[in-house]
Amino acid sequence: MAGVGDDGTRARAVLLIVPILVVLTLGFYAPLGFFLALSFLRYDPAHLYLHQWTFANYHVVLAESTYRLGLFNTLRLALAVAACTVVLGYGIAVVLWRSTPGWRNVLITALIAPLFVSVIIRTYGWLIIFDNRGPLNEMLRWFSLGPLHIRSTLTAVVVALTEVELPFATLPIFAALSQVDRALVEAAATLGEPPLRAFARVVVPLSLPGVVTGGILAFSLAASSFVEPLVLAPPNLFLLATLAYDDINQVLNWPLGAATGFFLFAVALLLTAVSVGALRLTRGGRMV
Amino acid sequence: MMATRTVGVLRGTFVAIVLLFILAPLIVVVGVSFNRSPFVFFPPRALSLHWYGEVLRSSAWTGPLATSAVVAAIVAGFAGLLGTVSGLALARWPVRGRQMIELALLAPIFIPGILTGMALLFWLGRLQLVGGLAGLVLGHLVITVPYVVRTVYGGMPGNLMDLEAAAATLGAGPVRTFVRVSVPLVLPAVSAGTFFAFLLSFDNVTISLFLAGPRAVTLPVQIFNYVQFSNDPSVAAISTVLMLATVVALLGAERFISVRQLVSRRTLGGRA
Amino acid sequence: MGAHSTPAIDLVEIRKAYGRTPVLSGVSLPVESGEFIAVLGPSGCGKTTLLRIIAGLTPLDAGAVFFHGERVDRLPAHHRRVGFVFQSYALFPHMTVVENVSFGVRHRQNGRSPVGAMLELVGLTTEAHKFPHQLSGGQQQRVALARALAIQPAVLLLDEPFSNLDLKLRQAMRLEVRRVHDQLGMTTVLVTHDQTEALTMADRVVLMTNGVIMQTGTPVDVYQRPANRFVADFVGDANFLSGIVETPIAVDRARIVLDGAAAALEARGAAPVAAGERVTVMVRPEHVSLDRSEPGGINGSVVRQVFMGAVVRCWVEIGEGVRVIVDAPGGGQPQWPTGAPVQIKVDPERLWYLRQ
């Protein structure tokens, strides 16, 4: 493995990369490729699909009211989660940014510890909390404010997803904030800006790339989530992800499930492209 | 002075609320697990370890627990090996084309898990591999190996090529250089990556929901089924056991690897 | 340089390209046994590639490398027995100082290991069991040197070894490395972009640019008798004045009339020139003196001056837009008011013409 020669090194690098490429081809690229092809094949109840190319599945996804509603709800859900995580995450990131290294370590550890617990366990936790006789409603009743019906609502899903995606939004914002030179704030102060205005005019604009990254991440993860909705959402709340899941598991319309899945991915990609583009435009392409 | 104190109190309150929010679902799960009654009460009305006994005696839980452990161990082994080899390959890849190959290796991180899961299920169906351990292992391997690659590649010393060259000038042949220099230098990152792959596989629901079958049900899938269709504190008990095991594993691993570094890598790139 | 002795290192017509970019275009260089050579040039001139080719870390496209008459360019690095000190030091972070230094030592010499001696040589005996990250930059540098020397290499190769040190430490390490070299008589090749380093440390300096050697010579040679404008410009500060040859005197001497000057001046050069030929005349700032009333000098006026400690650097305008930099002895404060008319005088032994 010594750097005996550039040419030997290159040959060895190619050789070393082959195994993983084989595994990824067998377990990722080929399946996705075939699945993409499937989304363009005609559905047939008897044979799963026929070898006829068609846009019919995407037509269903775009035109049928269930899927339109699914798109609308997915966007609603993902935007709500992105907004909640970014607002909360920005607050946490600022606290982290202003903390001493010791406190920062404690807070970051607390923030990321739940990531090591399976999503299904945390979703179960929220299910308990939102139960009609759960701790939240017990408390509301005690204050004579409840009970509220939260279990099996969109709100429940938003809250659970916010909790799950919070670190994914917070850490990019914190990373962006950490890059901000504190001397800039001091410079603004010497130029006569009071602290809050200096923060708004100097720190906030510089942290925008992190906000966009975190927001996109939270949005994409929320849009494609289906475990939390399956447990916490009401059965009549159509979402693209759960529709795709049902197409495959209940209806057994595989081509339609494939089309729904790729459409969902395309929506997330499109939103990413738009946000990154907007960020570039506002800052003349300098920061991103 | 007053202003600073107000800010401090506000900040403290905010931090407390956020921490409560983050930890609330875990706290209630632990709390519920100590119920004596067959109903889910939080806080529990009477404390008991009854459900722990139930869970550990029931093959409905011990079976999936074993399946999960076996799958995660196999996946971690393969992912660790593959990720290490690929990380080393990336380090010596010519600068031109390195980003392309990096993207090709990390792509599974950026594709929604539901899409990967469905595609794999369809593909394995064609190959007659649905519902067995092999399918689960392949699926978990594909989504965990990118994280190992990234951990290994990101965790190796920046001047690894220089260090290997130095060993060569000091008379060490390729084998000695590999054993005495390359391996010890990437070992911390490799063990961190492997450990991480184990946890990711063990916790995974998204992919497993598609790939698990009657012959192979993982623990998270079993929890999902219980949460959907029945409601007694046994789920809370097994979940608490899982959390405890994870905490113990993390504390044990913390001595060797930086868990935090791991997680920031994971979070900044999305989730499988 | 004995004509019959075999060079310790002999590079013959070395060529190397990365893709279509040529990095070395036919470099030949013999290095005598025990000699200290500095390869000096701007970054990207190919000097590090040359050093890596000597060590066997980079393969060459064409040419040959000989160690003591034996061809080695097909030999992998681990069979060449070269001591290489990397710019990043490349100390193994998972090994202590003594482990690093003994890494390449397989055979004990006369029953005792050279490791202890090497640690003693670089003054690190007390740090032997520390890890690299516990050492200062200068100490890490010493470990890298000791490690390279411990294998008792045929040649010692140093790749920008001092670039990560601060100025004081760099100066100290230069002396130290030279002392070690003198003590061991080790054939040494140093690659650097720092002209002071090259001039102060080396027996011979090799100037490179764009993959080609521009000049090889003693430090005094390259400083006082540069082969061309690149060398004159890269090594030290220089004034370049244009003029016309009035009369050639010898193969390396001519009388030259500088543009705007009344009288001809005698200058020396590397090659013969013809009468009427346009040449560039180089003179170092410290070889020009200033006076109010020196007869036979060139008239000018001081336009700017900067106190630099040992000298006062003056910019003297001697014609439309023609400025000469003069380092006058710094008597504690500036002696020449700005705008004052002065005469500059150059030492004819120090005037050096370059053909254009």
Q: Which residue of C has its CA nearest to A3?
A: C57
Query: What residues of chain A score a pLDDT lower than 70?
Result: 1-9, 283-288
Report the distance separating Cα B227 and Cα B121, nearest Å. Answer: 23
Q: What is the mean pLDDT of chain B?
A: 87
Tell me, yes or no, whether A28 lies in a domain.
Answer: no
Chain A partners within 8 Å of C77 (Cβ): 2-4
Domain that holds residue B206: 66-269
**Chain B residues contacting C, CB < 8 Å?**
157, 159, 162-163, 165-173, 177, 180-181, 184-185
Instruction: Compute how many other C-beta atoms are within 10 angstroms of the C-beta atom of residue B21.
Output: 14
Tell me, yes or no, whether A86 lies in a domain.
Answer: yes
Say whether A254 and B105 touch across the interface (CB within 8 A). Answer: no
Tell me, yes or no, whether A17 lies in a domain.
Answer: no
Number of domains in chain B: 1
Tell me, yes or no, whether B233 lies in a domain.
Answer: yes
Q: Which residue of C has its CA nearest to B161?
A: C90
Instruction: Compute how many other C-beta atoms are within 10 angstroms of the C-beta atom of residue B111.
Output: 18
Say whether A4 and C58 touch across the interface (CB within 8 A). Answer: no
Of B132 and B211, which is predicted with more confidence?
B211
DSSP codes, B181-228: IIHHHHHHHHHHHHHHHHHHHHH--HHHHHH-BTTB--HHHHHHHHHH
pLDDT confidence band for B265 (50 / 70 / 90):
very low
Q: Which pair of tokens denotes residue B225?
A: 């089924």
Element (H, E) at A75: helix A65-98
Q: What is the ipTM of this complex?
A: 0.89
Write down the pLDDT at residue B101.
Answer: 92
Write down the pLDDT at residue C169.
Answer: 87
Tens digit of pLDDT at every position of chain C (356 positions)? 445 578 999 999 999 998 888 999 999 999 999 999 999 999 989 999 999 999 999 999 999 999 999 999 999 999 999 999 999 999 999 999 999 999 988 755 555 678 888 898 888 999 999 999 999 988 999 999 999 999 889 899 999 999 888 888 889 889 989 998 999 899 999 999 999 999 999 999 999 999 999 999 999 999 999 999 999 999 988 999 888 999 999 888 999 988 877 778 888 998 888 888 999 999 999 888 887 765 667 788 888 888 888 888 889 888 777 888 988 887 655 577 788 888 888 877 888 999 87
B144-189 residue pLDDT tens: 999 999 988 888 888 888 999 999 999 999 899 989 998 888 888 8
pLDDT confidence band for B268 (50 / 70 / 90):
very low
**CATH number of the domain that A70 lies in?**
1.10.3720.10
The percent of chain C in helix, strand and coil, each rounded to the nearest 5, is 25, 35, 40
Tell me, yes or no, whether A23 lies in a domain.
Answer: no
Report the distance separating Cα C100 and Cα C89, nearest Å. Answer: 11
Chain C partners within 8 Å of A2 (Cβ): 76-78
Chain C partners within 8 Å of A4 (Cβ): 56-57, 76-78
Chain B partners within 8 Å of C90 (Cβ): 159, 162-163, 165-166
Tell me, yes or no, whether A39 lies in a domain.
Answer: no
Tell me, yes or no, whether B230 lies in a domain.
Answer: yes
Considering the entire predicted model, what is its pTM?
Answer: 0.81
Give the 3-state secondary structure of residue C160: coil
Number of domains in chain A: 1
Does the CB of A1 have a partner CB in chain C at under 8 Å?
A: no
Structural contact between residues B174 and B239, judged by C-beta atoms closer than 8 angstroms: no
Say whether B170 and C88 touch across the interface (CB within 8 A). Answer: no
Strand pairing report for C322-329 and C70-71:
unpaired
The pLDDT of residue B68 is above 90 = yes
Does the CB of A47 have a partner CB in chain C at under 8 Å?
A: no
Does the CB of B23 have a partner CB in chain A at under 8 Å?
A: yes
Tell me, yes or no, whether B41 lies in a domain.
Answer: no
**CATH number of the domain that B190 lies in?**
1.10.3720.10
Write down the pLDDT at residue B161.
Answer: 87
Q: Which of A20, A125, A254 sits opposite B25 (nearest CB)?
A: A125
Does the CB of C18 have a partner CB in chain B at under 8 Å?
A: no
Q: Which residue of B has its CA nearest to C82?
A: B169
Chain C partners within 8 Å of A3 (Cβ): 57, 77
Tell me, yes or no, whether B52 lies in a domain.
Answer: no
Question: Can you state the angle between helices A6-24 and B98-110, rounded to 10 degrees?
Answer: 20
Q: Which pair of tokens denotes residue C32?
A: 């005598």
Rg (CA), chain C: 24
B79-91 residue pLDDT tens: 999 998 998 888 8
- Nearest chain A Cα distance for residue B227, angstroms: 7
Report the distance separating Cα C152 and Cα C149, nearest Å. Answer: 5
**Count of helices and strands (H, E) across chain A:** 14, 2
Report the distance separating Cα A216 and Cα A210, nearest Å. Answer: 10
Tell me, yes or no, whether B255 lies in a domain.
Answer: yes
Say whether B170 and C104 touch across the interface (CB within 8 A). Answer: yes
- Nearest chain B Cα distance for residue A11, angstroms: 9
Tell me, yes or no, whether A22 lies in a domain.
Answer: no
Tell me, yes or no, whether A241 lies in a domain.
Answer: yes
